[in-house]
Structure 1
Amino acid sequence: MAAPHFIAVDWGTSGFRLWVMGKDGNVLASTSAPLGMSRLKRNDFDRVLEESLDTLGIAKDVPAIICGMAGAAQGWCEAPYLCAPTRLDALGEGAVSVRGATRQVHILPGVKQMAPANVMRGEETQIAGLLHADPAFAGTVCLPGTHTKWVQVTDGAIQHFETCMTGEQFAFFSQDSVLSHSMMLDGWSDCAFRAAVHLATQDPVAVPRRLFAIRADMLVGDQDSATARATLSGLLIGQELMSVPLYWCDQSVTLIGAPSLCEIYLKALDVLGVGGRSLNVETTTLAGLTAAFYLQKGPAHA
């Protein structure tokens, strides 16, 4: 292995992903574990990081930069939010050094919005990665996930954003609600998904009553699990789209997230005649962490 230059970490609620970076920007090694903020106490973070790096044979003098929930109040070390509108090149300047860590560790801040109240941690770093590759970018970025973010970016800055809990809603309805009995098998139907998006975007108030019909259609009709799952997704995403028209109407949307989820959102946007593209989430995250690493101000502690 070439000499490691720094460690990049995306530390989320449920897990973390770590990359060992060379001075030329190449990834020398990587690892991940289901050890996110929700499973760790404050004193666990340093141990988990060092055990992961010991396994990779990384010396203690290699610094680390981290984005995500490790910087939350309940995480390793709180990195105070920057307030939108905020330039993305301010992330490195706002990095907080973790006092007492085994190695030099900086955690990037998230971004908050005062009115309407909103917060993000991790997504801002992915957007910074987009801007690192395309400094002139201006437009909407959608980051689909458990809590999907819709972000307006201009002049190298996050101007304003919205959060939709569509992913969490889908997980509840498909796994814990009465609808879960209709989705015990995997599968997908593009036709059912597009029909559900169309219904939800044409008549959003119909969504609450149409949700139970997913179960009824299986009990009294011949609906299968693939149709049920796609219908639920289409109804929820369609309803989401109608709540944030400012972010997609008459414009193209750039998506950053899991490829399969980005593909679903692109299909939903296509129903509305809206174009878009998806970017590799690992690439944008690494670009954002790398840019922030080189923009750090210095050893401000918290």
Structure 2
Amino acid sequence: MSISPNWIALDWGTTHLRGWAMSAGNTVLAEAHSDRGMGTLTPSEFPAAFAELTRDWTAAPAIACGMVGARQGWIEAAYQAVPCTPLPTSFTKAPTNAASVHIIPGLSQSSPADVMRGEETQIAGFLALNPGWDGVLCMPGTHTKWVQISAGEVVSFQTCMTGDLFAAISGHTVLKHSVVSDDWDDAAFAEALSDTLSRPEKLAARLFALRAEGLLHGLGNATAKARLSGLLIGAELAATKPYWLGQQIGIIGAGPVADAYVKALASQGAPATVADGPRVTLAGLTAAWTILKGQL
């Protein structure tokens, strides 16, 4: 039986595509998932990927966030410059003969130079679910974002490639033999975090010591993995202290990575509240639809 949505919400990232068929009252009628992310498609292939995802749904206008609006995506949605609200007053229409698809632009910062795509929609969703909230949002991931929010606007933000560094170091350096483990060592994480927070200039030397301690003193892989994470997150917290110190903090995410940031901040006397990523993404897309539907 075909689903007849009033509108469609799309979270279109680099590796995955997720869609929701939405009712006129903004409730979810159905969900669909695909591995046809931006990184697997040429611009001309996006309409077919959208049609495949929504093949069991009748045609309806769609609002999309994420890397779909990147320069290599379906069509580039120009960045909004901060300070600004996370959502714009107008959106970029994708070239398609099917139902209209509108793309939410990302945010840019001139100095220090920085950009985001997709996170702006999560920010909008977090603010929709927490009206009047001021403080700092931490968005852990491959490229972790620290975002200063005031009076409903993104004032400034900072990106840290901590997740990328962890993946690169654990998968493509000599440490790949030392950190393969499904287990975790909380004490090792806390110790490494404190070490790098107090002496971030020692990071490169501390990294190689993980390999040496394994060879010479039998350091276990679970301990080495947790210590690597602690060293990298510690360096990140040292670099972003002006964002989180003395601020109200929200973390958008879930699972072990979000838990690691919660523990790291708590160890510095900075408690954080966790919000579920998919929930705030859908809330942000709904807020964007509220803007868009008045223009259609």
SS at match of 2:30: strand
Counterpart Cα distance in 2 of 1:259 and 1:96: 33
SS at match of 1:50: helix
Q: TM-score, normalised by structure 1?
A: 0.94
Deviation at 1:253, TM superposition (A): 1.4
Counterpart Cα distance in 2 of 1:77 and 1:158: 24
SS at match of 1:87: coil
Q: Can you list the C-alpha shifts for 1:52-108, whole angstroms capped at 9, x where unaligned?
A: 111xx1012x111100100011100111111100113x43x2311113342111000
What is residue 4 of structure 1 aligned with on the other side?
5
**Structure 1 residue 63 corresponds to structure 2 residue 61:** yes
How many residues get paired? Answer: 294
Q: Residues 25 and 199 from structure 1, CA distance in 2 versus in 1: closer, same or farther, beyond 3 angstroms?
A: same
Deviation at 1:289, TM superposition (A): 0.3
What is residue 75 of structure 1 aligned with on the other side?
73
Deviation at 1:298, TM superposition (A): 3.1
% identity of equivalent residues: 43
Q: How does 1:26-105 map to 2 (within 5 A)?
A: 26-54=27-55, 57-60=56-59, 62-88=60-86, 90-91=87-88, 93-105=89-101
Q: How does 1:1-302 map to 2 (within 5 A)?
A: 3-54=4-55, 57-60=56-59, 62-88=60-86, 90-91=87-88, 93-296=89-292, 298=295
Counterpart Cα distance in 1 of 2:3 and 2:14: 31
SS at match of 1:186: coil
Which letter maps to 2:288? A
Q: Specify which structure has the bigger relative contact order, considering alpha-carbon pairs within 8 angstroms and separated by 6 or more residues.
A: 1
SS at match of 1:217: helix
Q: Is the 8 A contact 1:251 1:275 kept in 2?
A: no
Which letter maps to 1:81? Y
Q: Can you list the C-alpha shifts for 1:3-55, whole angstroms capped at 9, x where unaligned?
A: 4111111111111211111222221111222221111100111101111111x
Deviation at 1:286, TM superposition (A): 0.3
Alignment root-mean-square deviation, CA: 1.4
SS at match of 2:213: helix
Query: Which runs of 4 or more aligned residues in structure 1 lie more than 3 Å from their structure 2 counterparts after TM superposition?
Result: none
Q: Is the 8 A contact 1:112 1:119 kept in 2?
A: yes
Q: Is the 8 A contact 1:186 1:225 kept in 2?
A: no
Which letter maps to 2:61? P
Name whichever of 290-299 and 193-202 sits farther off.
290-299
SS at match of 2:54: helix
Q: Is the 8 A contact 2:188 2:223 kept in 1?
A: yes
Q: Is the 8 A contact 1:197 1:271 kept in 2?
A: no
Counterpart Cα distance in 2 of 1:30 and 1:258: 20
Q: Residues 69 and 220 from structure 1, CA distance in 2 versus in 1: closer, same or farther, beyond 3 angstroms?
A: same
SS at match of 2:43: coil
Q: Residues 257 and 43 from structure 1, CA distance in 2 versus in 1: closer, same or farther, beyond 3 angstroms?
A: same
Q: Residues 110 and 38 from structure 1, CA distance in 2 versus in 1: closer, same or farther, beyond 3 angstroms?
A: same
Q: Is the 8 A contact 2:140 2:258 kept in 1?
A: yes
Counterpart Cα distance in 1 of 2:108 and 2:99: 29
Structure 2: gaps (5+ residues): none
Q: Residues 101 and 135 from structure 1, CA distance in 2 versus in 1: closer, same or farther, beyond 3 angstroms?
A: farther
Deviation at 1:269, TM superposition (A): 0.7
